[in-house]
Structure 1
Amino acid sequence: MAAMKRRTVKLLTFFVLFIFLTSFLLNYSHTVVTPTWFPKQMVIEFSENLKKLITYSHRPCTCARCIGERKVSSWFDERFNWSVQPLLTAQNALLEEDTYSWWLRLQREKQPSNLNDTIKELFQVVPGNMDPLLEKKSVGCRRCAVVGNSGNLKESWYGPQIDSHDFVLRMNKAPTVGFEADVGSKTTHHLVYPESFRDLAENVSMILVPFKTLDLQWVISAVTTGTITHTYVPVPKKIKVQKNKILIYHPAFIKYVFDSWLKGHGRYPSTGILSVIFSLHICDEVDLYGFGADSKGNWHHYWENNPSAGAFRKTGVHDGDFESNVTATLESINKIRIFKGR
C-alpha cells in the first residue's frame, strides 16, 4: 500500500511539472493570442489544467456504459483525447500556428480581423468561462441526447425519451414547437453559427461554432451595437440570449474533430459530427436521435418536405458518408446508441 501511494505521488508530481512546463512553453511559442499579463495567465491556465487532470483522471462513472472507459476499443483510444478542451475561454485562447492557419482557411476570409483583438473584445462582452454545467465534477452518470435534424424523426414518438436525458443538445434551425411528440421540447444547449441561428428559450445555452473570425465579431455585435447584419447571407442583427448563456466552440476542437475523428475527410466537419464529438467529452452516456437518412433513403429535415433531399451530401464541404461511418463505429463499440426512427 505504501509503495502504491509513493508511485501515485510520483505520477502526480510528474503530471504537475509537465503541465507547468507545457503552459510555460505555450505562452512563449504561440503567437496568435498573447495574454496581457503573462504570469497571471500562466498561473490561471496551470490551475485550470491541473483541475481538469484530477477531474478526468479520477472521476468514476456510474452509468451502465461509460464513454470515457479506456481499453474497450483501440480504435476509440487512438482518437479520443480528453485533454482537448471543447470550449474557448479566456484561459485557453492560445492557438497554435498550424491550428490558426487551418481555421482561417475554412471559409477563406479575404481580410480577417486580428483574432487576438477580437477575442479580447469578445470576452469583455461575454464571460469567457467554462460553463459550470459542462464541467464533470461530481460522481454520477450524465446522460445526454444529441438531436439531429433528420426526417427519420417523423412519427418516431421519441419526444418523452429525449426529454428524459440530463442534457439535450440540438443544432442549427431545429424547431421543437409543433414537433414535441417526435423530437421533445427540452433543450439545454443549442449549437449554431450566425447563418443558422434561431431564437432560443431563456434557459438554453447557445454554443457558437465559429468557422471564421467574423462569426466571433457577430456575437459581439449581436449583443451590443447590432452593426453586423450580413456575412455571406443576411444574419440576425440582434439576438436575445443572456450573455452568461453564450459559449464558444473552440477552433482547436474543430481541428481535433477533423484530424482525429474524420482523418481529413471533407473540407471541415459538419455541425452534426461536431455535436457528437463534443458530447463524448462532456457526457458519460450519449444517445443520438435524428441522424442519417429516413426509411426511404432521403436526407432531409424533419420539419420540411425537401424535394432535393440529400443535395448537401454532394457539395464537397462535408463528407456525410464518412461522418456516418464514425457514428456507426461508435455505436458498434457501445460508446453511443443511435435511434434511427420508425
Structure 2
Amino acid sequence: MSLPKRRKIRTFALLFCVITFTTFLFSYTFRDPSVYFFKHAFRLSDNFFSKGLCACQQCMTEVEDDPWFAERFNQSNHPLMTRENSVLSDETFKWWQWLQSERQPANFSDVVEELFQVIPDEVLYMDASPKRCRTCAVVGNSGNLKGAQYGSLIDHCDFIIRMNQGPTSGFEEDVGTRTTHRVMYPESAIDLDNTTSLVLIPFKTLDLQWIISALTTGTIKHTYTAVVSRIKANKDKVLIYSPTFLKYVYESWLEGHGRYPSTGFLSLMLAVHICDEVSVFGFGADQYGNWHHYWEENQLAGAFRHTGVHDGDHEYNVTLLLADKHKIQMFRGR
C-alpha cells in the first residue's frame, strides 16, 4: 500500500473517532446537562487509564497520599454486621450498651442468631477492584437543599444513601427521586419500598430485637420511647450497622467527641468505606446559618445542631476536612 494511501486511511480513522466521541458526549450531556464534565464525560477513559485501586479518577482507598486520612481509615473494619464479625470484645460491648443505658439486655449472641434467621447473612460491597467505580451520594436533611436543584445529580449516582425520615416526594428537583439505602434506627423508622435497603443502626441489643419483631410478630412497641411495631421493608435487603464499626468511627474519626456519632456522620462513614467516589449533599447550615430540615417551612422549627448527644461542630469540621483533602466532594446548597 502506498504511503499517501496509508496516510489517508489513518486520517479518516482519526476523524471517525473524533466525530463518534463528540456525538456521544453531546448526546449524553444533552440528556442530563447537570452531570459535570470530569465525572461522566471521561468515565470511559477511567477504565483504560486508571492505575489505582478502582476505575475512578481518584479512589477512596488510596490512602498513601494523605497521612491524616491513612491514620484513620481502616478498610479491614467492615461497616456491616454478619454472623462472622458479630462477636464483640468485652470493651466494645460495654461501650455499646452504655450508649443508651441498656441495663438488662438479652443475650447478645442469641439475638444475633435469631436475627440472621430473619435477614440474610451476607458479606456485601467488598468487591473493590481496578474495574469498579462505585459512585455514591450521601443525602443529608439540611435546609440548604431547598432550592439547590441537585436532584438529577443525586439520582445519577450508583448508591444513594438517605437517612431517617428525609422525604423525596415533593422535593424531587432538589433531592432526587431514587434511594438505594435508608439509614435509620428504631425511633426514626419509616416504611420503605421493596427496592431500598434498610440499614439499621443499633445502639443496644433491644434495637436488634426490635428489627426482628418489626419484620415478623410486631410485639415490640417501646424502646426508650414509643416505636412503630411493624415496618414495611424487604427482609432480603435489611442490613445491620456493626457496633464494632460504630466504635471505630467514634474513636478514629471523631476522637471521642460527643456521646456517639450522628446518623448523618455514620452514613458518611458507611459511604467512605464501601464507595469509590463520595458526593455529599444536605450537610451543614443554610446560607443564613440556620440548622433545620429541608421539608420544614419554619427554618427554626427543627434545629438539630445541638442535641446534647452529638458534637455537630466537630462532625462537620471532619466532613469539611475530608472535602479539603479531596476524599469527598461536598455540595453546599443554598
TM-score by length of 2: 0.82
Aligned counterparts of 1:311 and 1:141: Cα–Cα separation in 2 = 36
SS of the residue corresponding to residue 241 of structure 1 reads coil
* Residue pair 1:228, 1:237 contacting (<8 A) in 2 also: yes
Matched, 1:70 2:70: no
Aligned counterparts of 1:322 and 1:253: Cα–Cα separation in 2 = 19
Aligned counterparts of 2:304 and 2:234: Cα–Cα separation in 1 = 32
Cα deviation 1:308-327 (Å, max 9, x = unaligned)? 45743333200000000101
* Residue pair 1:59, 1:137 contacting (<8 A) in 2 also: no
Structure 2 partner of 1:43 = none
Number of aligned pairs? 283
Q: 2:74 aligns with which of 51, 64, 81?
A: 81
Structure 2 partner of 1:53 = none
SS of the residue corresponding to residue 207 of structure 1 reads strand
Matched, 1:193 2:189: no
Aligned counterparts of 1:111 and 1:98: Cα–Cα separation in 2 = 17
Aligned counterparts of 1:113 and 1:304: Cα–Cα separation in 2 = 39
Correspondences of 1:189-228 after superposition (within 5 Å)? 189-228=181-220
Q: 1:167 aligns with which of 135, 142, 159?
A: 159
Whichever residue aligns with residue 278 of structure 2, its letter is V
* Residue pair 1:151, 1:294 contacting (<8 A) in 2 also: yes
* Residue pair 2:140, 2:281 contacting (<8 A) in 1 also: yes
Whichever residue aligns with residue 75 of structure 2, its letter is W
Cα deviation 1:251-299 (Å, max 9, x = unaligned)? 0010000000000000000001101111111000000000000011111
Report the alpha carbon displacement of residue 70 of structure 1 after superposing the two structures with TM. 2.1
Aligned counterparts of 2:283 and 2:305: Cα–Cα separation in 1 = 13
Matched, 1:335 2:303: no
Structure 1 partner of 2:122 = 129
Matched, 1:300 2:273: no
Structure 2 partner of 1:270 = 262
SS of the residue corresponding to residue 313 of structure 1 reads coil
SS of the residue corresponding to residue 178 of structure 1 reads coil
Whichever residue aligns with residue 237 of structure 2, its letter is K
Q: 1:104 aligns with which of 62, 86, 97?
A: 97
Aligned counterparts of 1:325 and 1:213: Cα–Cα separation in 2 = 31
Q: 2:135 aligns with which of 132, 143, 161?
A: 143
Structure 2 partner of 1:312 = 304
Aligned counterparts of 1:287 and 1:314: Cα–Cα separation in 2 = 25
Aligned counterparts of 1:310 and 1:237: Cα–Cα separation in 2 = 25
Aligned counterparts of 1:73 and 1:273: Cα–Cα separation in 2 = 21
Q: Which ranges of structure 1 fall in alignment gaps of 5 or more residues?
A: 1-57
Q: From the CA coordinates, give the structure whose radius of gyration is larger.
A: 2
Structure 2 partner of 1:281 = 273
* Residue pair 2:292, 2:304 contacting (<8 A) in 1 also: no
SS of the residue corresponding to residue 227 of structure 1 reads coil
Structure 1 partner of 2:10 = none
TM-score by length of 1: 0.80
Aligned counterparts of 1:294 and 1:258: Cα–Cα separation in 2 = 26
Structure 2 partner of 1:25 = none
Aligned counterparts of 2:75 and 2:128: Cα–Cα separation in 1 = 14
* Residue pair 2:293, 2:302 contacting (<8 A) in 1 also: no
Aligned counterparts of 2:303 and 2:107: Cα–Cα separation in 1 = 35
Q: Compared with structure 1, are the counterparts of its residues 306 and 109 closer, same or farther at alpha carbon in structure 2 (3 Å cutoff)? A: farther
Q: Compared with structure 1, are the counterparts of its residues 309 and 77 closer, same or farther at alpha carbon in structure 2 (3 Å cutoff)? A: farther
Aligned counterparts of 1:167 and 1:101: Cα–Cα separation in 2 = 33
